[in-house]
């Protein structure tokens, strides 16, 4: 049993209702759409988002029909952004969504991403949940801005830590904060509680992104170098001479020994340790956020969500 599975079991009935609503929302009158949507649905990776939405609703009041709507919308939007992200970053992606390209075409992958996005927004309108529509539309806007910033910086071999953290907040944290906020609002929570859970979601999302950066390490694929947060932090800890040397090497990232050298550089310059420390800081902030809420089993579950996944 996976660690996240234990939390799923604690809200088993709610998860089943959410899944039924999600599946229904994917149905269309076009066979190829249903086929690909079913394929993607069976291979979705992120189980955290609906759990976060449901637990946020529970921790701030009670679960309502709007909670399930919110969980389904955020899952559709997440799927859309992941498909688009994978198409853009196919060299580094090991995500199952990229197999859409192998079975169909890259253009179809992009269109499927658009389809999931449209479905998510249409559910908001259909249910007249304009508050949810605003929350998730802003989240999509921030994710898009973050992706564009990351693409624009892809050739920058001396990236800025502050700017990279801003990108993380847009690409990842905005989605998690939207989840927590939507869950709280769906339960009719007061503004103070909504703000607490929104902050919790943001800090949790940043910590999760950094954890993923640590697992990616520094990789060179098809002569393209994937800049990671640990490398950026290692570069910050380097003197000017070392910086120039690293940047020069990165212009010719074609040999295996260069990959090994860059990973060694990142560790020697404490880039990995700095990233771990930063991750732990945001993890602690997320847990600290929810200590402001009255104690309940749901609040404790939100704490466990952080501890089990980071």
The rounded distance, in Å, linking the Cα atoms of 51 and 64 is 14
- Please determine, for residue 26, whether its predicted confidence score (pLDDT) is greater than 80: no
Question: What does the pLDDT read at residue 94?
Answer: 46
Query: Phi and psi for 147 in degrees, rounded to 5?
Result: -65, -40
Question: What does the pLDDT read at residue 1?
Answer: 43
Q: Could you tell me the pLDDT band of residue 226, with boundaries at 50, 70 and 90?
A: low
The rounded distance, in Å, linking the Cα atoms of 170 and 206 is 9
Closest CA to 235 of 201, 275, 286: 275
Question: What does the pLDDT read at residue 221?
Answer: 43
pTM exceeds cut of 0.95:
no
Q: Which of 5-19, 31-45, 236-250, 277-291 has the highest mean pLDDT?
A: 277-291
**Number of neighbours of residue 113 by Cβ within 10 angstroms:** 22
Question: What does the pLDDT read at residue 306?
Answer: 96
Question: What does the pLDDT read at residue 222?
Answer: 43
- Please determine, for residue 281, whether its predicted confidence score (pLDDT) is greater than 80: yes
Q: Please tell me whether residue 214 adopts helix, strand or coil conformation.
A: helix
Q: Which of 217-226, 265-274, 282-291 has the highest mean pLDDT?
A: 282-291
- Please determine, for residue 31, whether its predicted confidence score (pLDDT) is greater than 50: yes
Closest CA to 307 of 289, 284, 276, 291: 284
Q: Which helix (H) or strand (E) holds 287?
A: helix 271-290
Task: Give mean pLDDT, residues 103-124.
Answer: 67
Task: Give mean pLDDT, residues 72-77.
Answer: 81
**Number of neighbours of residue 296 by Cβ within 10 angstroms:** 12
Structural domains in the chain plus CATH codes: 3-309 (1.10.600.10)
- Please determine, for residue 304, whether its predicted confidence score (pLDDT) is greater than 90: yes
The rounded distance, in Å, linking the Cα atoms of 6 and 300 is 13
Question: What does the pLDDT read at residue 88?
Answer: 57
Question: What does the pLDDT read at residue 93?
Answer: 45
Q: What rounded mean pLDDT belongs to the chain?
A: 80
- Please determine, for residue 92, whether its predicted confidence score (pLDDT) is greater than 60: no
Query: Phi and psi for 138 in degrees, rounded to 5?
Result: -65, -40
Q: Which of 31-40, 96-105, 175-184 has the highest mean pLDDT?
A: 175-184
Query: Which of the 8 DSSP states describes residue 219?
Result: E
The rounded distance, in Å, linking the Cα atoms of 160 and 85 is 22
Question: What does the pLDDT read at residue 274?
Answer: 94
């Amino acid at each position: 049993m996976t660690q996240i599975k234990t939390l799923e079991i604690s809200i088993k009935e709610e998860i089943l209702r959410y899944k039924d609503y999600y599946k229904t929302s994917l149905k269309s009158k076009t066979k190829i759409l249903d086929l690909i949507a079913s394929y993607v649905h069976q291979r979705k990776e992120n189980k955290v988002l609906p759990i976060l939405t449901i637990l946020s609703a529970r921790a701030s009041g009670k679960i309502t029909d709007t909670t399930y709507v919110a969980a389904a919308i955020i899952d559709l939007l997440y799927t859309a952004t992941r498909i688009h992200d994978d198409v853009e970053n196919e060299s580094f992606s090991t995500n199952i969504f990229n197999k859409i390209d192998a079975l169909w075409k890259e253009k179809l992958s992009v269109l499927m991403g658009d389809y999931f996005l449209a479905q998510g927004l249409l559910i908001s309108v259909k249910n007249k949940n304009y508050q949810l529509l605003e929350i998730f539309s802003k989240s999509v806007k921030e994710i898009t801005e973050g992706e564009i910033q990351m693409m624009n910086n892809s050739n920058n071999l001396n990236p800025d830590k502050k700017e990279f953290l801003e990108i993380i907040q847009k690409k990842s944290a905005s989605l998690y904060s939207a989840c927590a906020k939507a869950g709280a609002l769906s339960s009719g929570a007061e503004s103070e509680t909504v703000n607490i859970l929104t902050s919790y979601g943001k800090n949790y999302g940043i910590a999760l992104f950094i954890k993923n950066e640590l697992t990616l390490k520094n990789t060179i694929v098809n002569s393209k170098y994937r800049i990671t947060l640990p490398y950026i932090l290692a570069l910050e800890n380097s003197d000017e001479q070392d910086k120039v040397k690293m940047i020069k090497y990165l212009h010719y990232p074609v040999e295996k020994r260069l990959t090994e050298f860059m990973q060694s550089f990142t560790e020697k310059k404490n880039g990995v340790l700095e990233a771990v420390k930063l991750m732990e800081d945001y993890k602690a902030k997320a847990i600290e956020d929810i200590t402001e809420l009255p104690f309940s089993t749901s609040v404790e579950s939100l704490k466990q969500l952080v501890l089990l996944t980071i």
